Structure 1
Amino acid sequence: MTTHRVSAFLAPRRRLRLAGLLTAPVLWLGLVYVVALSALLVTAFWTVDELTGQVQIEWTTENVVEVVTEALYRTVTLRTLGIAALVTVIDVLIAVPVAFFMAKVAGPRLRHLLVIAVLAPLWASYLVKVYSWRALLSSDGIIEWVLSPFGLHTPGYGIIGVVLALSYLWLPYVIMPIYAGFDRVPDRLLEASADLGGRGWRTLTAVVLPMIRPAIIAGSIFAFSLSLGDYITTGIVGGTTQMLGNLVYTNVGAANNLPLAAAISLIPIGIILVYLAAVRRTGALRSL
C-alpha cells in the first residue's frame, strides 16, 4: 500500500522523480571523486619532514614552484604531450575508416561481428595486453621474426613501443564514438551527394566529416586523456622513457613524497581541463 502511495505521489512530479534518481549517484560521485581530487590538490601545498619522511600540514608553494621551474618536469611534460597527441592521431586515422566501414558498408550481421571484435579486447586484462606487447617488441619476438628477413629490426622498448602499445589499448575507445557518429549520418545524404556528382572523397570531406567531427573529438578525448595519465605501459615497454604518470608513481612509492606527486599531477589535470574547455563548444561532450 505504501508503495502505491509513493508512486501516486511521484507520478505527476517529474522533477522530484529525477531528483530522487540522481541524488544517490551524485552524492557518491561527489564523495569518491570530487572530494578525493580536492584532497589530492590540497596535498600539493603540504610538506614532507626530511627526517621522518612523514607528510606535514605546513602550507607552502615549494612543490608547485619546483614543478614549474625545473627543466626535468618541462621535458617530461612535453614528451608526455607528444606521445599522447601522437597516439590520438594514430587512433583517429585508424578509427575513421574502420568506423565508416562498420556503419555504412558492412551488412547487419558483419556489423555485429565487427562491433564484437572491437569490444572483445576490453574484456582482456590490461596487464596481459601490455605484457603481450612487451613480448612482441622483444629482440626475439614476432615483430623481429617478421622484419629480420628484410633487414629490419623491432623498435624495441622506448617511445615507439609506448606509442604502439597505447594506440592499441585505446583504439576501441576511439572507434565506438566515431562509429556512433557515422551511424547517425542519414544514408540519403550520401545518396544525394552522389546524385549531385560528389565523388567518394568529396562526399567524405564535405558532407560526412563535418557531421561526425564531434564524434571524432569525443574519441580523441579518450585516447588523449588516457595516454596522458598512463604509467604502467611506460614502465613495461618504455625502457628508460619517463612520462608524467611515472613521475607521480615514483614520488608516491619509492620517494614517499606525496606532496610533490600531487604537484606533478596538477600538470595533466590542467592540460585535460584546458582541452575539455576547448572542445566544449563543438558538442563533442554530448557524443561521449
Structure 2
Amino acid sequence: MTDTTTAPHPTRVPTPRATPARRASGWLSAHPRFRLAFLLSAPLFWLGVVYIVALVLLLVTAFWKVDTFTGEIITEWTFDNIVTVLTGALYQTVTLRTVGVALLVTVIDVAIALPIAFYMAKVATPRAQRFLVIAILMPLWASYLVKAYAWRSVLSQEGILEWLLTPFGLHTPGYGLTATVITLSYLWLPYVILPIYAGLERVPDSLLEASADLGGKTWRTLASVVLPLAFPAIIAGTIFSFSLSLGDYITVNIVGGANQMLGNLVYTNVGAANNLPLAAAIALIPIVIIFGYLALVRRTGALNNL
C-alpha cells in the first residue's frame, strides 16, 4: 500500500536585508586591519588632542610674555623666558636637585623591586604569587594625598618613626629632601615592581637550571642570565619612577620642607605669580629631560623587546 501523505513544506527563512550597517560589518570582518584601525581611531584621536596638542600649546606659550602692569598674556614671540630659565641660577639649582632626586628614587626602587619581583616570578608558589600581586596593587587603591600625608605623620618629630628610633639614640630626618626621596620611593615602587615581575616571569626556568648544571653560582646566574634578560623590564620600571618623580610637586609641598623642585616652580608661576609663559618655559625642562632619557634608552636597544 502506497503512502500518499506528503511531507510538510519547509519554511523558508527570509534572507536578511543588506542594510548599509550589515555591509559595513561584513567588510570590516573581512579586513581585520581596518577593523583594528577603526577601533583605535577614537582613543588615538583623544590622545592626540589631549597630549600632543597640549604639548604644542605649552611650547608656544613659552615664547609669549606677560604684561607687568596688567598681568595679561601678550602673544608676541620672545626668547626671554627660555633665556631666563637657562641662565638663572635658581632654575639651574632646582633642575639639578630635581634630577638628583629622580635618579635616587629610581635607584632605590630598582634595588627594592628586583628581589621582590624575582621571588614572585621564580620562587613563590602560584597562590603566593597572586597574594603578592594583590598586596602590591593595594596601595594603588589608596589616595595619593592620603599616602603622602601618612608619610608626613611618620617622619614628623612626634611620629612613630621618632618613637622607634629614640631608644637607640637616633632621630628622624624630618622634612626635607630625605623625606621627599623616601615618600616618592614608596609611591612609585609598585610601578617598578610590576614591569620587572612581568619581565622575569618570561625568563625560562630551563635557563636557570642549565646555569646551575654548568656550575653557575647564584650571583653568577643572576648577573649573567637573569639580569640581561630582565634588562628591558628594568628599564621600563625606571621610566615610570624617573618620569613621575621628575614632575612631582605635591609630595615636595607636603614633606619636602623649604626645598623646591621643577614642579613647584611651575605651580608657583601658574598660581601665585600668574606668569603662565614662564611656567611653560620651566615645564619644558622635565619634558626635554625625559625625552632625552627615552632617546638614550632606545639607543641601548633596551626597549626593543618590551
Return 5+ residue gaps in structure 1 as ranges: none
One-letter amino acid of the counterpart of residue 106, structure 1: A
The 1:285/1:176 distance shift into structure 2, 3 A limit, reads: farther
2: CA distance, partners of 1:168 / 1:41? 32
- Provide the rounded CA distance (Å) in 2 between the counterparts of 1:92 and 1:16: 40
Q: Does 1:242 align with 2:277?
A: no
Within the candidate set 278, 281, 284, 2:303 is matched to 284
Q: Distance in 2 between matches of 1:286 and 1:190?
A: 20
1:98-129 residue CA offsets vs partner (Å, 9 max, x unmatched):
00000000000011000000011000000000
Match among 49, 65, 75 for residue 67 of structure 2: 49
SS of 2:260's equivalent in the other structure is coil
Q: Trace 1:156-175 onto structure 2 (pairs within 5 A).
A: 156-175=174-193
| Identity value in percent | 69
Runs of 4+ in 1 over 6 A off after TM superposition: none
Q: Deviations over 1:107-157 (max 9, x none)?
A: 000110000000110000000000000000100101101111000000000
Coordinate RMSD, CA, aligned: 1.1
TM-score normalised by length of structure 2: 0.92
Match of 2:240 among 222, 227, 231: 222
The one-letter code matched in structure 1 to 2:114 is V
Q: What is the rounded CA distance, in whole Å, between the counterparts of 1:265 and 1:118 in structure 2?
A: 31
TM-score normalised by length of structure 1: 0.97
Instruction: Measure the CA separation in 1 of the matches of 2:37 and 2:133.
Output: 35
> Given that residues 185 and 211 in structure 1 are in contact (C-alpha distance below 8 angstroms), is that contact kept between their aligned partners in structure 2?
yes
Higher helix proportion (structure 1 or 2): 1
Aligned equivalents of 1:239 and 1:91: distance in 2?
A: 22
The residue that corresponds to 1:76 in the other structure is 94
Partner of 1:233: 251
Name stretches of at least 5 consecutive residues in structure 2 with no aligned partner.
Answer: 1-16
- Letter paired with 1:67: V
Query: Aligned residues, how many?
Result: 287
| Aligned position for 2:168 | 150
1:285 CA displacement: 6.8
The residue correspondences of 1:1-288 to structure 2 (distance < 5 A) are: 2=19, 3-281=21-299, 282-284=301-303, 287=306
Counterpart residue type for residue 303 of structure 2: A
- C-alpha distance in 2, partners of 1:279/1:201? 25
Give the 3-state SS of the residue equivalent to 2:30 in structure 1.
coil
